[in-house]
């Protein structure tokens, strides 16, 4: 399977270069207007990255809360119960 590794890395490199070029082209300033805060001017790519990161964090917190609410065993407690 080692012969399949280089096309995957080539594809990853192409995706990275494409996204990096896209971020450089979209570096214009945008205004973020909140309720009690004055207007913030940030690059468009930074605003999109921040929105994506916030979405990832909210999704992980909700998934953890649902897992905790269902009482599903966590991987660390599951492995310790198998040892005893």
- Percent of the chain, pLDDT > 90? 37
What predicted TM-score, i.e. pTM, was given to this entire model?
0.59
Q: What is the pLDDT of residues 27-64, one digit of tens each?
A: 899 998 888 888 999 998 888 889 999 999 999 999 99
**4 band by pLDDT with thresholds 50, 70 and 90:** confident
What's the pLDDT at 15? 92
Cα 65 to chain centroid, rounded: 18
Angle at 42 between CA 38 and CA 48, to 5 degrees: 115
Q: How far apart are CA 84 and CA 28, in angstroms?
A: 59
What's the pLDDT at 76? 60
């Amino acid at each position: 399977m080692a012969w399949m590794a280089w096309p995957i890395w080539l594809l990853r490199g192409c995706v990275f270069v494409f996204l990096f070029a896209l971020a450089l082209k979209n570096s214009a300033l945008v205004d973020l207007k909140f309720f009690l805060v004055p207007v913030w001017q940030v690059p468009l790519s930074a605003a999109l990255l921040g929105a994506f990161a916030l979405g990832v964090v909210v999704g992980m917190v909700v998934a953890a809360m649902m897992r905790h609410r269902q009482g599903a065993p966590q991987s660390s407690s599951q492995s310790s119960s198998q040892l005893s």
